[in-house]
Amino acid sequence: MVAPVRLALPIDEHLAAIAQAVRSEGGAIVVAEPGAGKTTRVPGMLLDELRLNVTCTQPRRIAARLSAARVAEERSSQLGHEVGYEVRFDRKRSASTKLCFMTEGLALRQWSSEKRGTRVLVLDEFHERHLDADMLLALAARERAQGGKLSLVVMSATLDAEPLSRHLQLPVIRSEGRHFPVHASYLATRANERLETQVSRALREVLADREDQGHVLVFLPGLSEIRRCQEQVAELAKHNELLVLPLHGSLSRDEQDRALRPSRERRVILATNVAETSLTIEGVTTVVDAGTARVARHSPWTGLSSLQVEPISQASAKQRAGRAGRTAPGRCIRLYSEHDLVGRRGFDSPEIVRADLTGSALQLAAEDLHLDALPWLDAPPPLAVENAYELLTRLGALQERSITPLGRRMSLLPVHARLARIVIEAERLGVPSLGASAAGLLSEPALRRQSYAQEASASSSSDVLDDLDLLDELRASGFRPGLARTMNVDIGVARNADKIAAQILRSLDNRSQSTSLSESDRDEAVRRALLTGFPDRAGKRVRARGDAVLLCSGGAVTLSRTSAVLDAEYLIAMDVEERGVKGARSALVR
């Protein structure tokens, strides 16, 4: 095998200092601008210099997989040998793997089973401040404080490093990036203009520049916006011979690679924030930034967790614009004003201050730890901690904050605590496969394409049961894409839900089989199992066939007109999106 040419990168001149800091201080905070090469060079250098096993975490599966492939190639190593990766549903690692890239969530799940010894943990792209990353940081800080032989390196391009340095008592090492100039412009929003129309206008502006024939990367908040934009620009793409491709976490590996690999055709890549960090898409010279992202928040108003579309931070906007200047001079068209950008927060708020902490509390309880006993960089809100323990007690997972046998079984399942409770109850009622499939569906975005969603006409006892029927039909067809299109179903979501269900069934320790029940008894068992996972989400219609629902917890929600539960007086709210601001807030249940 011919070794690839090793190009000089800005981070190279700092590698010796990073290695020295790890040897003498036990770690370092590395702040390196986009293009510096921190992900490519730092983990491999630590492996070479320290001769220790290195785990490097990434916020997303695609970044972990591609980072591992790039480092292995640069080191002339076959992927899965010295350098490997492990993400949900996909892994390439072996007994000889010494440097492993993985997602933060998987690294956290493996923390308890990991052999505690002399090793290195690298938390990359830490500025995103996901809850799993903060938990890893807290567990690592605790182990180090107790005399453990864990070295810790935290890396980011846009990071407020000083508070982190003080918290961990580690030095900060900074590196300039290597990127080309990016010209930013702002596309004024017209009254009542939809996002997909804005994107179409921006693309027409890009196409008017005949000198620039580079690829276009469009940042959008979510899957539904990607689908609407695909439809909106289809005719424009056809006339200009553009290849329009989606890029998001629900796609298969092959579908993601199609958006990333070089092509002769000019590409327009419609992406969520999976493309914001750790990825270099060759040939991208223009970024179109919608300026928003979907984030999970736990609402004290409704008592529910929901996804909300929110403005991104200035740091995130900088990251997105930088994607256009990785290989050549570029431009960034922002679909919001410069005044709007200046008024935004500087950095992303940590997820720990706005997230549901139930899963984290259960995972720590399995280690005989409590949320308020860890050395957090930002402590979780006391009310969120109280709510997490209250729900786990209600689910039967904890008793006086100590884990129960039921809770221990729940902690072993690779889904949220609510969904784990559903699976175990479904198993008890003789329908483990249906419970696992329901948990798989509820772990993923909406199965049915929202852009095609129509007001329900036929009444059903459960939207989840309807989705289970669709999933079964797709399974029987071998997940045939044509059938999925006919059903207006997202084939990627269906495949992922099926994989999650299979993973859950493998995790059940008694390998229980479904019992012989009538269809009505099976449906009743699923409904009962769903209630055990969402006991606080039970609600009652205000009036017959109305869309207003009062929850037992005291909140009020609105049932989407796409829901087929038309006649039931009592409901369970599971898929919730909070809308509006302040006095005009509402929560939509799909």
How many angstroms separate the CA atoms of 519 and 359, rounded? 32
Q: Residues 125, 374, 100, 175: is their CA dihedral positive or negative?
A: positive
SS3 156: strand
**Is the distance from CB of 172 to CB of 145 less than 8 angstroms?**
no
Question: Above pLDDT 70, what percent of the chain?
Answer: 92
State which amino acid sits at residue 197.
T
The whole-number pLDDT of residue 492 equals 86
CB atoms within 10 A of CB 166: 10
Q: Give the confidence band of 1 by pLDDT, cuts at 50, 70, 90.
A: very low
Convert the pLDDT of each residue in 460-487 to its tens digit.
888 999 999 999 999 999 999 999 989 9
- Mean pLDDT over residues 416-443, rounded? 95
Convert the pLDDT of each residue in 383-405 to its tens digit.
999 999 999 999 999 999 999 99
Convert the pLDDT of each residue in 273-327 to its tens digit.
887 776 778 889 999 999 999 887 766 545 556 677 889 999 899 889 988 887 7
Q: Give the confidence band of 95 by pLDDT, cuts at 50, 70, 90.
A: very high
How many angstroms separate the CA atoms of 17 and 311, rounded? 37
Q: Residues 197, 231, 278, 216: is their CA dihedral positive or negative?
A: negative
**Is the distance from CB of 321 to CB of 182 less than 8 angstroms?**
yes
Q: Give the confidence band of 198 by pLDDT, cuts at 50, 70, 90.
A: very high
SS3 396: coil
What average pLDDT does the structure give for the chain? 89
Nearest to 420 by CA among 550, 253, 557, 534: 534
The DSSP element (H or E) to which 56 belongs, if any, is strand 54-58
How many angstroms separate the CA atoms of 118 and 511, rounded? 36
